A = this chain, B = another copy of it.
Amino acid sequence: MAASSPGPTTVYGRPVTTEGVPNLYQGTSVSPWTPPVPGIDNLGISSVDTFAVPGVGEYTVDFDGYVRVVRSEPTSEEWATAEVYTNLIEMKMVGECEELGRITVTLNPECLSAGQIRTPFDPYAGEGPAAKACRMAVGAIFDMPKLGMKLVNKEPIILTIDDVRQIPPAGSPGKGQIYRMLPLHDSRRLDDAPVAYVTSLRFTMGGYTTQEAMARR
Contact = CB atoms under 8 A, between A and B. Distances in A.
B193 A135 contact: no
Given A85-B193, A193-B83, A12 B154 contact: yes
Given A83-B193, A155-B156, A193-B85, A133 B15 contact: no
Interface in A33-64: 52, 58
A151 interface: no
Interface string A71-98: 0000100000001010000000000000
A154 B11 contact: yes
Please give the count of copies of this chain that the complex contains.
2
A10 B10 contact: yes
Interface stretch (A100-108, A176-184, A203-211): A176-184
A86 to B, nearest CB: 12
Contacts of A133: 180-181
Contacts of A75: 193
B137 A155 contact: yes
A121 B154 contact: no
A156 B117 CA distance: 19
A9 interface: yes
Contacts of A52: 121
Contacts of A155: 12-13, 137, 156, 158
A179 B160 CA distance: 8
Contact of A135 (B122, B137, B180, B185): B180
Interface in A184-211: 185, 190-194, 197, 199
Of all A-B residue pairs in the complex, the 5 with the closest CB atoms, nearest first, are A177-B179, A52-B121, A137-B155, A10-B10, A9-B9
